Chain A
């Protein structure tokens, strides 16, 4: 199993690929910067894409919107949530 640090790097690459963030590298994404609004500036369609990313790659299905919002606050929060809930 990956540790959180390693997971964050993998996750950043997956986010760039999944959301087609052209011209962006994993190093440019701050671990603690908000993914939505400020920071990466993602929107509601991106949140759907991130839910699919979690389900496909880590077997995590988020049913509760409030929980989802918290889990996708930042790369750090996502990595933490994945390490606690992943089924694959």
Chain B
């Protein structure tokens, strides 16, 4: 796979990540099992006529995309976006009005905005991009397929740059449904202590992350995504094989991985796989990210943004370590970083990144 060079990124999350270039000095810890995005002042990105029609997910997705593009001031040749559930608020409004008005007199706006590719269209119209524009709706592999698609387009010399991103929102209704299905912890916890709770389920999250990716290595210091692997309901043997294959393909040894950024979401059902990867990569410094953003379909996007900042800054804040392993701080230079995301055991992802 051709490396995907990251030339800019922007992230709206439950942490104050937006408009901040450096790593955060401290994290915000939330009480309760549902983390919501810290929303910026949207008026700087969206005109008043558009903003009154847009739901939260569209607003934070669009703003993250615009911010990412503004940083590099260049026109993307492709817009590739992943979302697990799209604009849930609009979908819920539309479905409720179908029921309430017995399939008559339905509002146009929630219907239009409930379609998954709405954000692609809005960005394309705003930036006057009329080339490749695709939305991947592959549940917890949605963002991963955006990266894979970009890699294929780069490999085939179709494009030089691509705006790649993801967005997902958590509504009260969706949270309540998933609570009944056992996705979230029954007990209310403090998000910073997510990994200390040995119980079923996780905490819910949401967010939007965008990257401007380039096929060509910039002249300045940069980071790139070297490789990606997606595994559906793998066994630990599958995981071991895939990690080894990923490293071998990129001429790396396990000992070359300086950091393992784990997407352990605190669900005891996924303990076996998370524990295996942790032990398998024992030579790497182990960090975590789900206590910052919560669990959602496109949380890998948040992890890549965080990894990009760690690689650039060469600093690891204390809040990324396991609360009981803070004394294992690493001071060594960080070159290779492996993200391992695990969405309730079903969708598991490996993303290999490097700093140049």
Contacts and interface: CB of A to CB of B under 8 A. Distances in A.
Interface of A: 19-22, 41, 43, 45, 48-49, 52, 55-56
A21 B52 CA distance: 6
B198 interface: no
B112 A52 contact: no
B237 interface: no
B101 interface: yes
A45 B53 contact: yes
Contact of A45 (B51, B105, B108): B108
B108 A48 contact: yes
Contacts of A52: 105-108
B73 interface: no
Nearest to A41: B49
Interface residues of B, number: 13
A19 B107 CA distance: 10
Contacts of B109: 45, 49
Interface in B105-130: 105-109, 112
B104 interface: yes
Nearest to A61: B105
A56 B105 CA distance: 6
Overall SS of chain A's interface:
helix
Interface of B: 48-49, 51-53, 101, 104-109, 112
B101 A56 contact: yes
Nearest to A20: B52
Contacts of B105: 52, 55-56
Nearest to A19: B52
Contacts of A22: 48, 51-52
Contacts of A19: 52
B107 A55 contact: no
20 contacts: A20-B53, A21-B52, A22-B48, A22-B51, A22-B52, A41-B49, A43-B49, A45-B108, A45-B112, A48-B107, A49-B107, A49-B108, A49-B109, A52-B105, A52-B106, A52-B108, A55-B104, A55-B105, A56-B101, A56-B105
Contacts of A41: 49
B53 to A, nearest CB: 7
> Which of B51, B108, B112 counts the most A-chain CB atoms under 10 A from its CB?
B108
Nearest to B101: A56
Contacts of A56: 101, 105
A45 B107 CA distance: 10
